[in-house]
Structure 1
């Protein structure tokens, strides 16, 4: 990003004319994203204090640890730039999403001095109509993260987003019961498809994560998830890199599938293209084939969901049938924060405090 003085090189008479017309003097230029295809943007400003803030923005771009920022002129854009730069090692899709949400924040608050932001104003913005609740939530979260970083770096004194919560409401995500899932697995068209659908429905992997698995990721009854399938050798978030114990139902399927193949081979190889992993659409097609076959002998047909419904199925079975705790389910699914699991699946967790109190009674009883 650069900041240009539009009056530079003008004669005194020209400057006097510009001043009389209250013409903008400072112009900020930047790109949305990186690379040659990134859209170039520019914005002009009049106020001297805002110009100083923009100069600070330019000097601090890509230097999140620098301390030369003038505290009195820190803008929301300065903090967003520093936060995004510090998180540049995440998966490309995550960076793209964060940059997009940060762009919406910039549109409203980017040039504002942080000291002029107030909680009520941000809260009104967070409930604006016409924008999906999940998008509004993520935009508030990235603004909050940038402000928290500013507080840690001693550039900002307070967080005006404190206490603001964007409610997503209760959304029932479609999933299968354990009975329906096992019927689907039994009806799978091949051993490869059964193992694939088992990994998705009984372990909660994302479809892209399963497609990216190598034979070497299967070791001593555990599965290492190290690639999110986004065209890089990393996962969606740091929390998505995880080592999962394999359920005994699924383990024999994976062991047979791996056989004695080299560790560098794809765990789920393409049936059509030698040396390639299964195609992006393959998991959905495998699920469709299994449901079609399972429904041939069922009075109540199993509904057709997308393959991502198997991930929801894992969460639903874990919480509502197996009685798992939210933190364990969050770790298994590779969510960046347990709050994501709570927002999406918290209503499936067993209700009431009786089980908890029963466990406390059992602990106390052993000590008496």
Structure 2
């Protein structure tokens, strides 16, 4: 039972004898010189009233909208001001993009208390046909309704009454083909060696370590331990709120890791270091970090000049490394998780399932060939 230290919160009694709490709060003057004062009533407990009071106290007078008269757009603006200060900039950018592309076009100008379950159900069903990660979009809308409830703009979270589709109706990307065999990878690297050494070294690192593109682009020479043959992954690149490249902590705690360097990669890094002019491995002419889309441009140039090469995406090199690691060695799942920096072992085990399915298909073929 919290101590009732907020003297602005008062208790009153309904006609049926039940107790409720209310408060009046001043948010100061807006840019027009008008003092903004609002009252909230109907809280069943002091704690609920105190929580909403504290949230409202952080709302600027110019951002305040009268109760039951707030649109999803206005609510998101208030919520996002708090959210962006509590998460990584990349997470804030991601959430902002989800709202802008998938929620705002449908509900941005609608008052939250006027949105119906039918509206939300039709929207959720539509998103399930358009997106693979549609549940994440619905989760953002759910969060907005929860926030609206806390600020007393809406009485219940109607998103919880939506029947969430079990799976997406959108055709998934064929990731099974986004991978090289050992021979195809060796051919690619041989071709890439004819290009500028920065480009070759980037793809060589991906092929030999399975790094994410953002992790590789963030590498500095301090991260390369030639003495112990280790590569330290302790940061990643991302786009910040001003759409500029920023450096931040890795994707998860498991992503902060040390990866052994093969003798082949060690030799390539030593050759590359001889030409190093900055502390960063991959950089612009003036030493700034590269944009995250730059490797896509590099890869396209390699494929354009060598049309006979099998085409995969930049992420396909990470998938290739994982596939070869599992199919050609006796490595254990936990070791794969450590090398790749997977947050959950389930992600790693899914890779094993994929490889085992391929083995099963191959086994059926060879047994059929024996046919005795």
SS at match of 1:176: coil
Checking the alignment, whether the CA contact within 8 Å between 1:204 and 1:312 is kept in structure 2 is yes
Checking the alignment, whether the CA contact within 8 Å between 2:237 and 2:292 is kept in structure 1 is no
Say whether residues 1:177 and 2:181 are aligned partners: yes
Q: In structure 2, what is the equivalent of residue 23 of structure 1? A: none
Q: In structure 2, what is the equivalent of residue 143 of structure 1? A: 141
Which of 206, 211, 214 does residue 217 from structure 2 map onto? 211
Structure 1 gaps, min length 5: 1-47, 50-55, 64-71, 296-300, 355-368
Q: In structure 2, what is the equivalent of residue 202 of structure 1? A: 208
2:338 and 2:116 mapped to 1: Cα distance? 36
Checking the alignment, whether the CA contact within 8 Å between 2:238 and 2:292 is kept in structure 1 is no
Which of 256, 272, 277 does residue 257 from structure 1 map onto? 272
Q: In structure 1, what is the equivalent of residue 320 of structure 2? A: 313
C-alpha displacement of 1:193: 3.5
SS at match of 1:205: coil
Q: In structure 1, what is the equivalent of residue 31 of structure 2? A: none
Checking the alignment, whether the CA contact within 8 Å between 2:221 and 2:279 is kept in structure 1 is yes
Checking the alignment, whether the CA contact within 8 Å between 2:303 and 2:311 is kept in structure 1 is yes
> TM-score with structure 2 length normalisation?
0.53
> TM-score with structure 1 length normalisation?
0.53
Closer, same or farther in 2 for the Cα pair 1:274/1:80, shift >3 Å? closer
Structure 2 gaps, min length 5: 1-39, 42-51, 60-67, 240-244, 361-372
1:97 and 1:288 mapped to 2: Cα distance? 26
SS at match of 2:257: strand
Say whether residues 1:85 and 2:100 are aligned partners: no
Which of 123, 130, 133 does residue 132 from structure 1 map onto? 130
Q: In structure 1, what is the equivalent of residue 91 of structure 2? A: 94
SS at match of 2:126: coil
Checking the alignment, whether the CA contact within 8 Å between 2:199 and 2:298 is kept in structure 1 is yes
C-alpha displacement of 1:228: 1.0
Closer, same or farther in 2 for the Cα pair 1:218/1:84, shift >3 Å? farther
1:142 and 1:315 mapped to 2: Cα distance? 32
2:77 and 2:342 mapped to 1: Cα distance? 23
Closer, same or farther in 2 for the Cα pair 1:149/1:130, shift >3 Å? closer
SS at match of 2:139: helix
C-alpha displacement of 1:184: 1.6
| Paired positions, count | 281
2:332 and 2:111 mapped to 1: Cα distance? 43
Closer, same or farther in 2 for the Cα pair 1:265/1:139, shift >3 Å? same
Checking the alignment, whether the CA contact within 8 Å between 2:236 and 2:251 is kept in structure 1 is no
